[in-house]
């Protein structure tokens, strides 16, 4: 649901103390993810530099598969870091905790579990079932 320019976006339903709490959760999660991503990338790059002689061809194939899996995991972690950045921006803008699809408040338990959530559980379910075509604006 897009909001017309004449209507301001809904304001966050959370107090300043709540927003400080969620900001701290987001920053801690982002720091942990960044550390994990850096370590995994370093490990994947080291694995790619190993000897690929014929004697170790099966080991090499296994290593390549593991490296691909690691890089996929890293990409997922990077996406979560991106979403955390967007959530931090919503805190600054005063719209954190508001569903970007409906304008309704996102429940606190959902945000405690997934502090970068953009949608209510009901709206997210509709996206995942294909009822709603959510636009991924990655700008």
Which one, of 95, 113, 104, 115, lies nearest residue 14 by Cα? 95
DSSP code for 3 = P
- pLDDT, position 35: 92
Record: fold of 16-129: 1.20.120
pLDDT digits (tens, 9 = 90+) for 95-132: 999 999 999 999 999 999 999 999 999 999 999 999 98
- Rg for the chain (alpha carbons), in Å? 20
Domains of the chain: which residue ranges? 16-129
SS3 111: helix
For residue range 54-89, list pLDDT tens digits in order: 556 666 667 677 777 878 888 899 999 999 999 999
Task: Please report the DSSP string for 84-96 in residue order.
Answer: HHHHHHHHHHT-T
């Amino acid at each position: 649901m897009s909001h017309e320019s004449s209507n301001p976006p809904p304001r966050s339903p959370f107090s300043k103390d709540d927003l400080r709490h969620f900001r701290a959760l987001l920053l801690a999660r982002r720091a942990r993810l960044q550390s994990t991503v850096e370590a995994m990338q370093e490990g994947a790059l080291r694995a790619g530099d190993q000897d690929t002689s014929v004697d170790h061809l099966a080991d090499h194939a296994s290593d390549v598969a593991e490296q691909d899996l690691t890089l996929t995991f890293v990409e997922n972690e990077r996406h979560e870091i991106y979403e955390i950045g967007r959530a931090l921006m919503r805190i600054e803008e005063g719209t954190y905790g508001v569903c970007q699809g409906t304008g309704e408040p996102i429940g606190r338990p959902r945000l405690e579990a997934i502090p970068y959530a953009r949608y209510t559980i009901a709206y997210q379910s509709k996206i995942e079932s294909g009822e709603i075509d959510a636009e991924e604006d990655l700008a």
